[in-house]
Amino acid sequence: MTAEKKKKKTKVQIDVEPQNGKVNRTVVATFGEERYTDQLNPLRAAAREKFAQKVIEKFGIENASAKETISDLILTKAEEADAAAEEHAQHASQAIVEDRSALALKATPKEVVQKAEAFLKSAGLIEEIKSDFEAMGIVGETDLALTLYLIATSRKLDKPLSSTVKASSASGKSFVTEQITSLMPSEDIHQATNITPNALYYMPPG
């Protein structure tokens, strides 16, 4: 097989960097020992097709479907890179939280830990928690308070629960939320009065 024929049969490999908050990303096309690198937005079909055309011309690819294949591959690799980056961030965040919780537990007096363990084993656990709610001034919103308490406690699960509380102004919903939050360890709390959906996605681990 001649070098030219071997080259034409070589597959193009595509690598795309994770998003990391950027619109344009570095995309690298490798064809045998040759490489072509550019910056583009993988979500834009026109940008992918332009990149694919440059790759075809640079590497002398003679395949009718090459342009579409390379374009689709860029999008697939971008999605894979984002998924891998998000998984890594989640693992890193979980490790940091676990370290903080472990340090806090280690610093907790032994008698406090024993009382907490006994409390968790109590047959009337839920009723005791409701009584604590009343002692904190939560009146008439016991169901909401208990729901929020269970959701907040689920933070220790692999797939924690989430919620939003909606109500008219001055109805006391913020008070209930703040009171329940105060029962959670400080190392597990992030408070924000105004936040966008994207801010949660790009929040640093821990």
**What is the mean predicted confidence (pLDDT) over 62-77?**
91
pLDDT band at 92 (very low <50, low <70, confident <90, very high): low
Q: What are the residue ranges spanned by the domains of the chain?
A: 3-82, 109-201
| pLDDT of 135 over the 50 cut | yes
Which tops the pLDDT comparison, 171 or 68?
68
| pLDDT of 109 over the 60 cut | yes
- Phi, psi torsion values for 31, nearest 5 degrees: -135, 100
In this predicted structure, what is the pLDDT of residue 22?
Answer: 78
Cα R_g (the chain), whole angstroms: 27
Q: Is 19 helix (H, G, I), strand (E, B) or coil?
A: coil
Q: Is 180 helix (H, G, I), strand (E, B) or coil?
A: helix
pLDDT band at 189 (very low <50, low <70, confident <90, very high): confident
Q: Which residues contact 137 (CB under 8 A, 6 or more apart)?
A: 175, 179
Enter the pTM of the model: 0.48
| pLDDT of 7 over the 80 cut | no
| pLDDT of 86 over the 70 cut | yes
In this predicted structure, what is the pLDDT of residue 6?
Answer: 45
pLDDT band at 21 (very low <50, low <70, confident <90, very high): confident
pLDDT band at 136 (very low <50, low <70, confident <90, very high): very high
CB contact at 8 A, 34 and 59: yes
CA atoms within 13 A on the CB side of 206: 7
The pLDDT tens digits for 159-185 are 889 888 887 776 667 899 999 999 988
- The percent of residues above 70 in pLDDT, for the chain, comes to 84
Q: How many CB atoms lie within 10 A of CB 180?
A: 22
